[in-house]
Amino acid sequence: MNSPEIDRVIDACGNDALASSAAAEVHAHLDACPVCRQRVATRATLSRLIQCVPYYAAPDRLRVAVATARCPARVSPQILVWAAMVTLAVSLGSGAVIDTVRARQTTAATTTTARDVVASHSRALMAAHLFDVRSTDQHTVKPWFLGRLDFSPPVDDLAPLGFPLVGGRLDYLAGRPVAALVYQRRQHTITVFVWPASDSREAPIDTRALRGFQVRHWTRDGMAFWAVSDLDDMELDQFAQALHP
């Protein structure tokens, strides 16, 4: 199949309405054609957004008018797509709809990151690889990250509050290298993952428990912070408040 042929069957392929042989040809073409892959991705995004638009039942007068109207001439798939996009754009003009879509996306992304944070903390504990640099001196830990990250993570000394810094390491979360700062509370380890926030606005502390760990998330000074530990929730709250005054 070539690109024009793919364009005519994209919707049928997405709805599993093609024969297996034709679907195989479509997938073979998509594997080799980035332009068509992007076209398919755009259609899929449009479909998901349309599903988020509130449903309004048509009035009876409109139903009767449609039922009694003469059959219109055939409309090309491109015109139908553009009509759908225009309808979607008008519908999404409602701030409430846009806020709902964004809130769902943010919630899903936060939940996924929380799982990744807990998994990384657990792996480091099991592999006994908590540190790339081991030191209680913030002036030793902070410079260690220079040249290893494209940002400078804030490193705070919380020893006077009973949460001494014990080191740090490089990690990989949210699709990028991040700083992992390690603190201690008696026999409990606290890992604080830090990287530049996608939204520079200050955010309050998000509290959740996952797989037996307490997790706290907030943004401060343009940085995203994720703290995870097996501490009880009250002590981890004290720790998070100390880093997010």
pLDDT per residue as tens digits for the range 45-64: 666 666 665 666 667 776 77
**Amino acid of residue 201:** R
Q: Between these two residues, 148 and 94, which has the higher pLDDT value?
A: 148
Q: How is the beta sheet containing 203-210 ordered, strand by strand?
A: 133-134, 165-173, 176-185, 188-196, 223-229, 213-220, 203-210
H or E element at residue 204 = strand 203-210
Q: 133 near 167, Cβ under 8 Å?
A: yes
Check residue 109 and give its pLDDT.
Answer: 67
- Using CA atoms, how far residue 47 sits from 11, 81, 118, in Å, is 10, 10, 33
Q: Checking DSSP bridges between strand 133-134 and strand 165-173, what pairing results, if any?
A: antiparallel
**Residues pairing with 228 in the sheet:** 191, 215
**Residues pairing with 226 in the sheet:** 193, 217
Confidence of residue 81 (pLDDT cuts 50, 70, 90): low
245's tokens: 């005054």
Closest by alpha carbon to 135, among 179, 105, 165? 165
pLDDT digits (tens, 9 = 90+) for 29-40: 777 777 777 777
What would the mean pLDDT of 211-233 be, rounded to a whole number? Answer: 93
Q: 154 near 194, Cβ under 8 Å?
A: yes
DSSP secondary structure letter of residue 59: P
Q: Between these two residues, 211 and 82, which has the higher pLDDT value?
A: 211
What would the mean pLDDT of 183-198 be, rounded to a whole number? Answer: 94
DSSP secondary structure letter of residue 158: B
Residues 6+ apart with CB under 8 A from 196: 151, 222, 223, 224
Cβ neighbours around 22 below 10 Å, total: 15
Closest by alpha carbon to 161, among 215, 240, 226, 81? 240
